[in-house]
A and B are shown apart, each in its own frame.
Chain A
């Protein structure tokens, strides 16, 4: 069974940093591109970032470019998102998702709250 489990969310002050993790199991991690998608309270889904199979290529939404860094540890089947210079508008549930054709498996998300 494919499983994705996010962790690392919490309350952080504006300007602070947080590192999210997504532990995966049940599939060959290095055969899939992986993504982070976020959803602010009561709002829609927003794509944040993606990383390719071997970690050699990444892409970011404009709103997080230069502040967030996506990475992966293929030996541990784990995806990461390092978030720096956090802003109030980064407050959201952050989902990790596997892509095959579309985002075919998702985690349950981890809540990040940026507030003083």
Chain B
């Protein structure tokens, strides 16, 4: 079955930049989406269609995708950005959705 691979954890100091990667064989054909999830809460969409930001999401969140790798960057990390982040995409046929394993972002 199709898989998306993320690093388990990323640590960053306040004000610095956090970059989370996501790799998958079908990424050249499918958009990538990114979600933020805080403990006990439902996920929130923070990046859609590789690099678009929904209304209400701060400009410090950005996304990119090239070939089989995608990335989400948080510029000027704030304490409130500490959360789990998941990438999501579809298999090459578009029939099945899949999430990455998640990356825990810790703000030091």
Give Cα A107–Cα B43 distance, bound, in whole angstroms.
9
In the complex, which of the residues B1, B49, B97, B100 contacts A35, with contact meaning CB atoms closer than 8 Å? B97
Cβ B102 vs Cβ A108 within 8 A: no
Cβ B42 vs Cβ A109 within 8 A: yes
Query: Does B98 touch A at the CB level, under 8 Å?
Result: yes
Name the residue of chain B whose CB is nearest to the CB of A103: B45
Cβ A50 vs Cβ B99 within 8 A: no
Q: A35-B97, A103-B33, A104-B54 are in contact. Are A45 and B1 (CB under 8 A)?
A: no
Give per-residue flags for A37-60: 1 if the beta carbon is below 8 A from chain B beta carbons, else 0.
Answer: 100000011110010000000010
Report, as a range, how many residues of chain A touch the other chain. Answer: 10 to 19
B-chain residues with CB within 8 Å of residue A101 when the two chains form the complex: 31, 33, 48-49, 52
Query: Does B66 touch A at the CB level, under 8 Å?
Result: no
Cβ B49 vs Cβ A47 within 8 A: no
Query: Does B14 touch A at the CB level, under 8 Å?
Result: no
Cβ B35 vs Cβ A61 within 8 A: no
Interchain nearest-CB distance for B73 vs A (Å): 18
Interchain nearest-CB distance for B106 vs A (Å): 16
Give per-residue flags for B78-108: 1 if the beta carbon is below 8 A from chain A beta carbons, else 0.
Answer: 0000001010100000011111111000000
The residues of A with any CB-CB pair to B shorter than 8 Å are 35, 37, 44-47, 50, 59, 61-62, 95, 101-104, 106-109
Other A-B pairs beyond A45-B86, A103-B45, A106-B44, 6, CB < 8 Å = A44-B86, A47-B99, A50-B97, A62-B1, A102-B88, A103-B88
